[in-house]
Structure 1
Amino acid sequence: MSQQFSVAAVQAAPCFLDLKAGIDKAIHFIEQAAASGAKLVVFPETWLPGYPNHIWLGPVAWQMQFVGRYFENSLVAGSEEDKALAEAARDNHIQVSMGLSERAGGSLYIAQWHYDQDGEIIKRRRKLKPTHVERTVFGNGDGSDLHVADTSLGSIGQLCCWEHIQPLTKYAMYSQNEQIHCAAWPNLALYESTAYALGHQVNNAASQVYAVEGGCFVVAPCALVSKEQQDILCQENPERMALCPTGGGYSKIYAPDGQSIGSNIDHDAEGLVLADIDLGMIAYAKAAADPAGHYARPDVTRLLFNNNPQRPVMKFDQTAGLQIDPIEEPPEPILVAE
C-alpha cells in the first residue's frame, strides 16, 4: 500500500444546469489533477449540475422554474455521463470522488460517486439527511451510505457538507479506521453576510475538526458561484444578489493533526488545491487520540449503527424469501461501534 502521494481538491464553479458541459469541465480537472501528480481528485457537493442555490433565494412558486431543468440535468447511474467519468478516471489512472445530484426514478439524492484508478465504481453513496430546505429537493440516504472503502490508496470515506456537524455520523465513519476523507462542500458564499454558520470559517473548522477527531487526512473541495450562475439564479434582483454573491470557494486539505496543508487559491479563483500526504502520520495522531478505539469509553457511551440498506420496495420471492434491491451489494452489518 502506498504511504506517500498527492491528492487534489477541485475549486471551480459548476456549469449550472448544463450536465454535458459539466462533464467536459470535470474531465478537464481530472486530467489536470493527474498531470499534477495527484492520485485522488475530489469534487464539491452536487458539482454536477451545480448546487441548487435557488432553494435558498425565493418562495417555492418562484423556485419551480428550476425544478424540471435540475431534474433533467441530474446524473443517472450507468448513464453515458457516468461512463464518461469512469473512462476519465481510467485514462488518467486516478481515483475520483465526484459530488453530484443523482436521479433515481422520480427522485433526486445528494450523492458522491467514488471511481478507482481503473474506472470501476468503489462506492455510490447518498447524503444521509439533506440539510434544511435541501429536503424540498432531495431524498434521504441510509446507513449503508456511511461506508469507508479499502482502496489501493488506503481507507477512503466520503461525507457532504453539514454531515460534518452530525456527531454520530462522524463517529460511525471514525469507527471504520478512515485514512482519507472526502469532504464535499457547496459554495460558501450563500447567505455569507447574514448567517455566520453557513460561512467558510465555521465550515472549514468542521473539516479541520474532522481531521483531528478522525486522525485522518481531509480533502475538502468547495465550489464557487460564477457571475454566469449568479445571473441565472438572481435575475438582477438586488436582494437575491446580496444573498448569493460571486466567489465563495474556500477549498482546503487538512492533515491528521489539523494543519492546513498544500497550496492555497483565492476564494473567487478556479483551480486545484494540491497537497502531498503521508499516511504514516496517522499513527502519531491515533496514538494521541482514537475516539472510536483506545480513547473510547464503551461502558459509558456507545453508538448503535445500522448500516443495512433501507429501500422503499422489497421484493418477495417464493423460494428466496424477502429480497432487498440495493444500489449495490451492502457492506457487512455493523451493529455497535464502541
Structure 2
Amino acid sequence: MKRPIKVACVQAAPVFLDLQATVDKTISLIRQAAAEGAELIAFPETWIPGYPWFLWLEAPAAYMPLVQRYHENSLVLDSAEARRISDAARECAIHVVLGHSERANGSLYIGQWIIDAQGKTIGVRRKLKATHVERTLFGESDGSSLSTFETELGRLGALCCWEHLQPLSKYAMYAQNEQIHVAAWPSFSLYRQITNALGPEVNTAASRIYAAEGQCFVLAPCALVSPEMIDLLCDDDYKRSLLQTGGGHARIFGPDGSDLATPLAEDEEGLLYATLEPSALIFAKVAADPAGHYSRPDVTRLMLNRTANPCVVEFSAPQPQSVEPDADNIERLADHLEF
C-alpha cells in the first residue's frame, strides 16, 4: 500500500435464489459505495444467490427441488449477469470482491471474484474445501486458490468463512505479503442455541485474529438472513429454532486487530466504511511478522502447492517419424534375412 484508501464492507441480505434481482442489488451497493468515495467494496460469502441454508435444515432428498433453483440462479462467470457487475465496477471506478456460488457446467463452487476499477478480472478463487454439509452441494478447489493479487490499492487476498480456521491456509496467505484481506461470511444465525462454533463471537474473533496474525487489514462482510428466507425454508417450529433472521456481524479490522468501523445492529442492512492507512502495516509488522523476522523456518515451515489441477489435461501424442531407407540400411537388412 502506498496511500490511504477508503473501503466499504457489505452487511445485507441478498434477494434469495434470484440471480437477476441480486445482481441489481449488487450494482446498487457498488454505486452507493462509490458515491461515498470508497475504492473497494467487499461482499459476503455466496452473496449471489444467497447462502444455501437448506443444507443445514433437513435431509438431502427433501431439499433437491431447492438445489435445482440454486443451480439455476448461481453465477456463471463471463455471463451477461457477470458482465453487468464488471461494467458497474468500471463505471464507478471501484474494486469489487464478490462472493458468489459459481456455476461451472454441472458443478458449483463457493467463489470469490476480484474485479479492478477498470472492470477487469484480477483473480478468481474457489473455497479450498467446502465446510461440512456444504460438500453435498459444492466442489473443491486447489492450491491456485491460495493466492494474493497485486493491485493499485495494495496486495489483496480473500478467503471464505471457515477457511479462517485453517492454520496452514492462513499462513500461505500471510507468506504472500497480504495487505488487504476480504474475509467473507454468510451470517451468524444458524444453530445459535446448539453450538458456539457457528456463532458471532467465535467467527468475528477469527476475522480479528487473522488481522493481528497476518498484520493486514481485514474486511469481513457478512450477510443477513431475511424474513423471506425464513418463510421459504422453515415450515415448522423446529426449523425456525435452527435458523433465525439477522445474524449480520460485518466488521473492518486494522492490522493490530482494532475495530476501524462502528458495527451495525445484527439485523440492520448497510455498508461499513473505513480508511486504511499504510503506516498501520509498518507498525504491525515491526512487532511480529510471521513469515518474516518472527518466523523460524529451521523449525517449522509450510509446503505450498499453488499449481492448478484441472480434471482433464490435453496433450498431443508425438507423431512417428518416417525414415528414408538408404543403400547401407538395405544391405544390412538383407544380410540378416534368410530366403
The TM-score, its normalising length taken from structure 2, stands at: 0.93
1:68 correspondence with 2:82: no
- The CA deviation at 1:67 is 0.8
CA contact (8 A) 1:76 1:82 kept: yes
2: distance between equivalents of 1:167 and 1:277? 25
- The CA deviation at 1:43 is 0.1
1:201 is matched with which residue?
A: 201
1:269 is matched with which residue?
A: 268
1:335 is matched with which residue?
A: none
Q: 1:280 to 1:102 in 2, by over 3 A?
A: same
- The CA deviation at 1:14 is 1.1
1:174 is matched with which residue?
A: 174
2:228 is matched with which residue?
A: 228
2:88 is matched with which residue?
A: 88
CA contact (8 A) 1:263 1:275 kept: no
2: distance between equivalents of 1:234 and 1:20? 24
- The CA deviation at 1:31 is 0.5
1:57 is matched with which residue?
A: 57
Q: 1:69 to 1:318 in 2, by over 3 A?
A: same
CA contact (8 A) 1:262 1:276 kept: no
**How do 1:1-338 residues align onto structure 2 when only pairs under 5 Å count?**
2-235=2-235, 237-318=236-317
The TM-score, its normalising length taken from structure 1, stands at: 0.93
* One-letter amino acid matched to 1:144: S
1:128-173 Cα distance to aligned partner (Å, 9 max, x none): 0000000000000110001100000000000000000100000000
2: distance between equivalents of 1:127 and 1:317? 32
- Residue aligned with 2:225, SS: coil
CA contact (8 A) 1:248 1:268 kept: yes
2: distance between equivalents of 1:211 and 1:143? 22
CA contact (8 A) 1:185 1:220 kept: yes
1: distance between equivalents of 2:188 and 2:11? 11
- The CA deviation at 1:317 is 2.4
1:8-59 Cα distance to aligned partner (Å, 9 max, x none): 1100011111000000000010001111111100000001000000000011
How many residues are paired up?
319
More strand by share: 1
Segments of structure 2 that go 5 or more residues without pairing to the other structure are 320-339
CA contact (8 A) 1:125 1:145 kept: yes
Q: Which has the larger radius of gyration?
A: 2
